[in-house]
Amino acid sequence: MKFRKNLAVSLALGLSIASLPAPSLAALPQGATAPDFALNAAMAGKPFRFSLHQSLRKGPVVLYFFPAAFTAGCTVEAHLFAEATDRFAKLGATVVGVTAGNVDRVAEFSKLECRNKFAVVADPGARIAAEYKTAMQYQGKALSERTSFVIAPDGKILMSYTDGNPQAHIDKTMAAVRAWNARHG
């Protein structure tokens, strides 16, 4: 119940990040090859080097880009993905968040808002966001638009979804992982 109250408060305050301008290019589409990368990340507050290639060896990856840690919409989305992480894991999928905003706070965000459930990757300068075509400029800063991808172990994008609504990302990515699992599980 506390989460629902916090969600209502966050939504009542307004999801200002959701109203950010859209990027000039559409995100990489379904069927495209996901750009590989290795960057600094944190899980449960502990830093490590995240490799997409290594994660795909375990199964599909739910890779979601969000504008900035500790903003209203991004915090709601992190809570929702944290609640869903065990369900994704049962289907063999790994959840990973990526942000270009507040990159110095990914360890803290992974612990507090991601509830020690999944890794958060720091994307300084939105370099990886640009490769996935989710980069945008906001008040002179390079950020990423709220976009989720489900990537198959072979590196192909199974699902690409951009929307300001955090809940929709969980629903869409879960459906894509379930569909993949039904064919391969």
Please identify every residue annotated as catalytic.
Answer: 74
Residue 23: phi, psi to the nearest 5?
-70, 160
Residue corresponding to tokens 């990027």: 23
Residue 131: phi, psi to the nearest 5?
-65, -35
Cβ contacts of 32 within 8 Å, gap of 6 or more = 156, 157, 160
Cβ contacts of 91 within 8 Å, gap of 6 or more = 60, 177, 178, 181, 185
d(CA 99, CA 64) in angstroms, rounded, equals 9
Instruction: Check residue 29 and report its DSSP letter.
Output: P
